[in-house]
Amino acid sequence: QVQLQESGPGLVKPSETLSLTCTVSGSLNSHYWSWIRQPPGKGLEWMGYVYESGSTQFNPSLKGRLSMSVDASRNQFSLHLTSVTAADTAVYYCASLVLIANYFDNWGQGTLVTVSS
């Protein structure tokens, strides 16, 4: 069973960049690593994935603001979201995507990021 753990600042100022890291217990190989967020009291939104090779795919609603990267030597992958606003306040989850069957089988515990000055 793969375990995932998010880390990063809990507070980000408006217009700045939100950066989070997910540490994976186990290899990053052959997995699609996703970020999913959930605004307080609302539903889930898939943000994007990064593959072990570094290839990415993003939610069209976030294109232009979102980037992701992978560091296999550290068993980590990261998210960077630029020009944040209060609407980006959410619990951010990292998860592994089983692409062929379209489901997310392992999830981190989530980390709350608040965008506020």
Binding site for another protein (CB under 8 A): 34, 43-46, 57, 59-60, 93, 97-99, 101-105, 107-110
Least Å from the CB of residue 110 to another protein: 5
Using alpha carbons only, what angle is made at residue 98 by residues 70 and 77, rounded to the nearest 5 degrees? 15
Q: Where do we find the tokens 């990063």?
A: 8
Name which of 46 and 82 has its Cβ closer to another protein.
Answer: 46
Strand order in the sheet with 18-25: 3-7, 18-25, 76-81, 66-71
Name which of 8 and 110 has its Cβ closer to another protein.
Answer: 110
DSSP conformation class of 83: S
Name which of 28 and 62 has its Cβ closer to another protein.
Answer: 62
